[in-house]
């Protein structure tokens, strides 16, 4: 067993690399549709998948989100610090291996069918139940509201890429009950059915080793970092060391 430190950005890159090799994603890239819904973690996922199919040119993760959490001291859109909403490039929709530039999940949701894959980030992770939940600011439940029409209605596969930094205490249903109650203020919370995919699943996917969160934290840019204890065969550990070393210096996300 060996311990490794991963920053949140390194974890996002790791998740992206792993999802580019996910069997369901690979199958949908060949003969179906993959929808990567805009989000900061999914920006890394989109980079890795588009690079894999040779269509990365023209993509930037810097504006690949609809909403983000910023430090209290950072000015928001009103102060002109964030890119204008008109710069939003759309989600990444890949149909039979070809990036359909400019399209969003809204354009294709009605055509999705079994075998297709939606990748949608989340905001809360309960590691004990391996469930995730999404903050909702839109009165019609936003992109996850659209996605669930296909997921529940037509058995489209939903994968939820998110880092362990988003782990929470408490039952997600109970948390949602409080946030969604009449009279509460701020975003709502929606626990969703889907395949949770964090750094632990990424390590297992890419090198077969087993990882466990054992500590967290840091300073000077390491805030939110994870200490992961990784265990496996000699071959798996060698692969894990090479893999985690390759993402360790990933720079932090910048607007």
What average pLDDT score do residues 137-166 get? 96
From the CB of residue 181, how many other CB atoms can be counted at a distance below 10 Å? 9
Q: 29-46, pLDDT tens digit by residue?
A: 999 999 999 999 999 999
Say which DSSP state 141 is in: -
The residue with tokens 């750094």 is: 199
Q: Which residues of 52-77 are buried (b: 16+ CB within 10 A; e: fewer)?
A: beebeeebebebbbbeeeeeeeeeee
- For residues 141, 62, 131, 94, the Cα torsion angle rounded to the nearest 10 degrees is 80
CA proximity to 64, closest of 38, 45, 46: 38
User: Residue 78: is its pLDDT beyond 90?
Assistant: no
Task: Give me the mean pLDDT over the 78-106 stretch.
Answer: 80
Whole-angstrom distance, CA of residue 47 vs CA of residue 153: 29
What is the reported pTM? 0.94
**Comparing 14-18, 48-52, 139-143, which segment has the lowest mean pLDDT?**
139-143
Structure tokens that stand for 144 in this block: 């996850």
- Better-scored residue on pLDDT, 32 or 220: 32
The pLDDT assigned to 79 comes to 41
Name residues whose C-beta falls within 8 Å of residue 255's C-beta, 6 or more positions apart in sequence.
62, 81, 82, 83
Q: What is the pLDDT of residue 76?
A: 55
Per-residue confidence (pLDDT) for residue 80, from 0 to 100: 44
pLDDT value of residue 74: 75
**Distance separating alpha carbons of residues 1 and 4, to the nearest angstrom:** 10
Mean pLDDT of the chain: 93
Contact 132, 194 (CB under 8 A): yes
Average pLDDT, integer, range 215-234: 94
Question: What number of other Cβ atoms are within 10 A of residue 14's Cβ?
Answer: 28
Q: Report the pLDDT averaged over residues 156-172.
A: 97
More confident residue, 87 or 49: 49
- At 71 the pLDDT is 80
Question: The tokens 């894990």 sit on which residue?
Answer: 240
User: Residue 81: what pLDDT?
Assistant: 46
User: Closest Cα partner for 122 from 203, 17, 45?
Assistant: 45
Q: What is the mean pLDDT of residues 71-78?
A: 66
Distance CA 162, CA 40 (A): 10
In the numeric block, which tokens belong to residue 39? 């989000």
Residue 72, token pair as written in the block? 């209290």
With a cut of 70, say whether residue 82 has pLDDT above it: no
pLDDT exceeds 90 at position 62: no
Unique residue bearing structure tokens 């999802």: 19
The rounded distance, in Å, linking the Cα atoms of 125 and 196 is 8
Q: Does domain 12-201 have CATH number 3.40.50?
A: yes
């Amino acid at each position: 067993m060996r311990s490794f430190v991963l920053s949140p950005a390194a974890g996002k890159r790791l998740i992206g690399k792993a999802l580019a090799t996910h069997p369901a994603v690979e199958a949908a890239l060949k003969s179906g549709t993959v929808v990567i819904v805009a989000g900061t973690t999914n920006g890394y996922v989109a980079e890795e998948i588009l690079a894999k199919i040779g269509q990365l040119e023209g993509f930037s993760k810097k504006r690949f989100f609809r909403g983000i959490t910023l430090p209290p001291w950072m000015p928001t859109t009103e102060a002109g610090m964030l890119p204008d909403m008109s710069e939003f490039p759309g989600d990444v929709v890949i149909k039979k291996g070809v990036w359909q530039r400019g399209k969003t999940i809204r354009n294709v949701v009605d055509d999705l069918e079994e075998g297709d894959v939606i990748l949608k980030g989340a905001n809360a992770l309960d590691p004990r139940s391996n469930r995730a939940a999404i903050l909702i600011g839109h009165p019609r439940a936003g992109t996850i509201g659209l996605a669930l029409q296909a997921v529940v209605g037509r058995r489209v596969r939903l994968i939820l890429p998110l880092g362990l930094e988003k782990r929470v205490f408490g039952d997600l249903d109970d948390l949602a009950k409080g946030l969604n109650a009449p009279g509460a203020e701020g975003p709502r919370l929606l626990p969703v059915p889907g395949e949770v995919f964090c750094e632990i699943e990424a390590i297992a996917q890419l090198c077969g080793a087993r990882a466990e969160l054992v500590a967290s934290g840091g300073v000077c840019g390491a805030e939110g970092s994870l200490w992961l204890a990784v265990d496996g065969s000699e071959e798996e550990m060698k692969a894990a060391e090479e893999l985690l070393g390759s993402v360790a210096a990933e720079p932090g996300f910048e607007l």
